[in-house]
Amino acid sequence: MHNNLVSNRSLLIVAFYGKLFALDRATGRVAWRTQIDNTSYSVGNAPAIELAIGDDVIVACTVNNLVFVEYATGRLLRNVPRSESGRATMLFDQGQLIVSALGAVSCYTLQGELVWQQPFSGEGYGVIAAGFPGNVRQADG
């Protein structure tokens, strides 16, 4: 993610246990809190949430949804059911959000509208690394 995609950089965004928190960069004080996934998990056993931040929008990818949240306020902008399964890797590039997981890649607008999907039919399943020149996200398990 390029550092210049968000004009306001005063908030550190933290995601865990189905929630997003914005912490004031100078004090660590919680500026806002937003619930993004209501799935019930045992404490310490909630799946990872992938984050991408750009154009004053936070995209949080849970196991079930892509959640678009306003950076400054924590206001929920859109909740999109995921079409890919598994732990996602995301990247922003030139106004697009690329989401890849377990042998499939999808492209969305920064407003959460699906542009295209590539399921790689017949190619198998696995974690995916994706990138453009100078903007690469490595897959993790």
pLDDT at 3: 43
pLDDT at 141: 59
pLDDT tens for the chain, 141 residues long, are 444 455 788 999 999 988 999 999 999 999 999 999 887 776 677 788 999 998 799 999 988 889 999 999 999 999 998 877 777 889 989 989 999 888 889 999 988 999 999 999 998 877 788 999 999 988 765
Say if CB 91 and CB 130 are below 8 A apart: yes
pLDDT at 28: 97
pLDDT at 54: 83
pLDDT at 11: 96
pLDDT at 6: 53
Neighbours of 57 (CB within 10 A): 20
CA R_g for the chain = 15
Backbone angles phi, psi at 127, to 5 degrees: -65, 150
Paired sense of beta strands 76-81 and 65-70, if any: antiparallel
